[in-house]
Structure 1
């Protein structure tokens, strides 16, 4: 393997030069000789970096010559085809990442030509809203979206490595500024705040007080007192509720396409105790719950007894209930000022618009001290809420643990004269 400098003159007499890396692979040509390959670079440093990487790849037996390399777009199709065992919603998300964020910028590039510099430039274009070649204007992607699609590109390259289509994963080599980015991400991530992200106890009381439907009352109580995800509530069966033991079993969930499947993770399969008032509400709702084929299947179905859609839960259940309870905020105009209708009345909207806010309230209720809450520790909350690891629980809810009043201890430690 060698690097040589090639110099030539153009028709106009301008002198040009390039650096050529020449190497051989174990593959034999038609004459039985080792096949030789060359690759040209404008800079000597790039040639040296390529030479070093090829040496490593040849030693591992993972090198793929440029002549046999496939494009990022073709590798993406192979990657998607290999995701058949994943949930449909996950595969659809990967497809969106490919179609809208990866292929327009990198799709025509061969895997062997993809470098760390190119990947970094791609990230910058996404972040700054630079349009892809041949495309019109583009919107800047958020830091979270750039991180997601970068992870998808890394998964695509890992899949290509396993198939022998590329020698290494350039995304894994992107170490520059990684520590700084992690600090920025941690700094930009907001903590959940009661009254902004998490309904206050008084707001939950108002929600339940103004909910006259037995169906929605049972749904809201199960959400705020048992902590199930919306997908788990939609997939909950009556056979999963043990009225004698006052507990429910989370065994499945309904995805965005209303298909029933396994919970989010193995730890999501759990047993949750049901408080007395919630149990009464479930009994009352069971007496009138719609049936499917003459039997009651789902606890919170649609009118025909089948899986209820997530949008109906939000638009027909949760948002109208918040508005009826008066838990609203003003609708602001472009200048951040409250808007009014033609009669001069303030226009308002529901303060909380997602079902996950009810799950957040459950977590805060579990951590609060009796008699306001259950006084659970983080390990107990993690098990009850069905997180895949206690670290997720700590990162999300640890700041909600009530702090003791240390006024007396501080005064004693301060002494008589400060």
Structure 2
């Protein structure tokens, strides 16, 4: 019956699902019923069919994905990133759709909409988030296949992130402009390549002034929580030059003391909030140094890496100092800085001399 109480024709499809259970589904049009039955029959033979009543919406699956991340004890920043990807990129476009209705064409359209309305980098993250959500749904038995697993957002070479590196003159000006209680932290940053979270978690017990080394054994996230380094490779020891040793010796005498024994604490000896480091120390120092543009704190790490490369530090050692899990990661990030035509020419000349004398 329709809204006016008149008889209305409907088409019912009867079939057996992958478990052999009898199922039925109604359609208003014969063509829609036939199309659906063809697709369902194929999915049943492939073992990928999930009845609508046995699944949930993309929004529900996304919520479960975020909750699983929290339950697994992932870092707060990671959980927050997952929630942001789900709420701002996946759910607005696909939230009401049931997982059983997701198909490769639907996901490809989702991909295209992201590319059209976001940066390619963010679109890629959105697609990967959907694939991860579906993988978790598969684990829970809510869907039989991950139709987003092979969907990709390619990034043309011209669209790849360029490593932004301050010049040597800019770094010198920054160090000169930095206040006395920020200068030591800045010195260690530009000469070791430690991440901001690693610097804020660095303890005096991690610094060996006699051996002239600093060791990364922990980090502090943006909310002030202590945790292990980003990866096993993040736990490392890095040499420091004599000038840094001297600066740290002098700073240790003035450094505020606290329960954690931090090398770069706040004025009361506690953990520095990352936002405060930026807004009260780093950005004002850039302004005082006369910078025409604002650099992120992470560019200090890039500067350190470029300095190591300029000194011809070998790739394996460079990767170890930076705390990269693989040398491939180091090459992907800094490989373009390692090109040296003069060195190439010298190598080839030496090879020729070795062969012909």
- Please indicate the TM-score interval, normalised by the length of the shorter structure: 0.7 to 0.9
Alignment of 1:181-192 (within 5 A): 181-182=153-154, 184-192=155-163
68, 90, 113: which one pairs with 2:54?
A: 68
- In the TM superposition, residue 302 of structure 1 has moved relative to its aligned partner by 1.2
**Within 5 A, what are the aligned runs for 1:18-417?**
22-26=15-19, 34-38=21-25, 42=32, 48-57=38-47, 63-84=49-70, 85-128=73-116, 140-174=117-151, 178=152, 181-182=153-154, 184-192=155-163, 197-211=164-178, 213-292=179-258, 295=259, 297-326=261-290, 328-329=291-292, 351-368=293-310, 373=311, 375-401=312-338, 403-405=340-342
Q: What is the deviation of 1:185?
A: 3.2
Which protein has the bigger strand share? 1
Distance in 1, matches of 2:115 and 2:210, equals 55
Secondary structure of the corresponding residue to residue 156 of structure 2:
helix
**Whole-angstrom CA distance in 2 between matches of 1:42 and 1:398:** 54
Residues 203 and 263, structure 2, Cα contact 8 Å, conserved in 1? yes
* Structure whose residues are more often helix by fraction: 2
Count of residue pairs brought into register by the alignment: 336
- Report deviation, 1:51: 3.0
Structure 2 CA distance, aligned partners of 1:80 and 1:164? 17
User: 1:269 Cα shift?
Assistant: 0.7
Q: Is the 8 A contact 1:25 1:35 kept in 2?
A: no
Q: Post-superposition shift, 1:221? A: 0.9
Distance in 2 between residues matched to 1:142 and 1:20, nearest whole Å: 43
SS at match of 2:181: helix
Q: Distance in 2 between matches of 1:188 and 1:69?
A: 38
Q: Counterparts of 1:39 and 1:171 in 2: how far apart (Å)? A: 28
Q: Compute the displacement of 1:353 (Å).
A: 2.4
**Unmatched 5+ residue regions in structure 2?**
1-8, 353-357
Structure-2 change in CA distance of 1:18 and 1:38 (3 Å): closer
Q: Judging changes above 3 Å, is the alpha-carbon distance between structure 1 residues 402 and 125 closer, same or farther for their aligned structure 2 residues?
A: closer
The Cα RMSD (Å) is: 2.7
**Secondary structure of 1:388 counterpart:** coil
Distance in 2 (CA, whole Å) between partners of 1:239 and 1:97 is: 39
Change (3 A) 1:402 1:214: farther
Does the residue aligned with 2:22 lie in a helix, a strand or coil? strand
- How far apart, in 2, do the equivalents of 1:120 and 1:319 lie? 42
Deviations 1:287-306 (A, max 9, x none): 111122xx562111111211
Contact 1:246/1:275, CA 8 A, preserved across alignment: yes
Answer yes or no: is the 8 Å Cα contact 1:301–1:308 preserved in 2.
yes
Question: Cα–Cα, structure 1 residues 149 and 407, in superposed 2: closer, same or farther, change >3 Å?
Answer: closer
Shift in CA distance, 104/209, structure 1 to aligned 2, threshold 3 Å: closer
Task: Give the CA deviation at 1:89.
Answer: 0.9
Q: Is the contact between residue 14 and residue 22 of structure 2 (CA under 8 Å) also seen in structure 1?
A: no
Question: Which SS does the other structure have where 2:149 is aligned?
Answer: helix
